[in-house]
Amino acid sequence: MRTIRVGSRESKLAVIQSELVMEAIREADPAVALELVTMKTTGDKILDRTLDKIGGKGLFVKELDAALLEGRADLTVHSCKDLPMEENPDIPLAGFSRREDPRDVLVLPEGVTELDPNKPIGCSSARRTVQLKELFPHMAVAPVRGNVLTRLRKLDEGQFSALVLAAAGLKRLGLEGRITRYFTVEEMIPAAGQGILALQTRAGEDLTYLKHVLDEAGTLCARAERAFVRRLDGGCSSPIAAHARLEGETIYIQGLYVSEQGMVIRQTISGPKGQAERLAEQLADQSKEAGV
């Protein structure tokens, strides 16, 4: 019997997401034995500074990458939006899952029905901050770090008037009831890959056991969104966002880019799904030109 060791961050949400993937593998091939290997990443340990101050998204994957390269894990499961945009050819992304709800949401403290203008909205992403200031110009925005449950505790303790979180994470945690408002993907363009799980393996491995986990629409959209951000050289400190959706044979991509002068640019493009990444790069080039 083949044993697949699945590497995951040790947060509750990361474990739930890894278990979703493991369950799909088991259903497709009961002969595969699965073992969950959890670890704390550097990004999980440093909680007193925003990601752009300590090295960016790669801090959530460094330990998981090492586990793959050293043979301590055979497959790692990530929230796609937490991944750096560049891929290591030795540990490529095998593909992506079906997308959960991609939207961002507003969460108020328990028992509260309105924003408190005397407290900031908690949000650590430059992408969300830029769009929040358009939606709530009278509200201050302040950084908040930690996993979803830690952030919710800080909210309920009274540190913030509200949080902005990903709908997908709250739904996977069974906390959908905490959501006060869903932002449309036009109001708040999501992070590239939001709601999608990315699966990473060693190069040259037999991946037939993943055939029922990988999703065509999720993979096409994730790769297009990542191509948009990569073309603009965006990391977690850059206010860049991208959201793609597939309708039949056509892919629709919308992007957000903030120029060096602070101009917020939203543009869209559509075309054949087979040209998804090229279209995303074209949209990125158009966005950059519009900001000059």
pLDDT digits (tens, 9 = 90+) for 89-127: 999 999 999 999 999 999 999 999 999 999 999 998 899
Classified as helix, coil or strand, 203 is coil
In a domain? residue 189: no
Domain coverage including residue 273: 215-292
Residue 81 phi, psi (nearest 5): -70, -15
Here the CATH number for the domain that contains residue 3 is: 3.40.190.10
Q: Which of 82, 104, 206, 215 is the catalytic position?
A: 82
From the centroid of its chain, how far is CA 150? 18
Residues 118 and 76 reside in one and the same domain: no
Residues 236 and 158 reside in one and the same domain: no
Measured distance CA(284)–CA(121) in Å, rounded: 29
Of 76, 110, 58, 81, give the one whose Cα is nearest residue 8.
Answer: 76
In a domain? residue 110: yes
Specify the number of domains making up the chain: 3
In a domain? residue 51: yes
Residue 82: what pLDDT? 87
In a domain? residue 138: yes
In a domain? residue 285: yes
Residues 91 and 236 reside in one and the same domain: no
Residues 235 and 259 reside in one and the same domain: yes
Residue 107: what pLDDT? 98
Packing angle between helix 148-156 and helix 12-28, nearest 10 degrees? Answer: 140
DSSP conformation class of 148:
H
In a domain? residue 188: no
Residue with the two structure tokens 């949401």: 105
Higher pLDDT, 200 or 54: 200
Residues 82 and 201 reside in one and the same domain: yes
Residues 87 and 111 reside in one and the same domain: no
Measured distance CA(161)–CA(84) in Å, rounded: 30
Residues 201 and 250 reside in one and the same domain: no
Residue 48: what pLDDT? 47
Here the CATH number for the domain that contains residue 254 is: 3.30.160.40
* 116 counts as catalytic: no
Residues 174 and 108 reside in one and the same domain: yes
| Percent of the chain's residues with pLDDT above 90 | 78
Residues 175 and 30 reside in one and the same domain: no
pTM score > 0.95 for this model? Answer: no
Classified as helix, coil or strand, 171 is helix
Of 195, 142, 207, give the one whose Cα is nearest residue 166.
Answer: 195
Q: Which two tokens stand for residue 292?
A: 């000059």
Q: Which residues pair with 31 in a beta bridge?
A: none
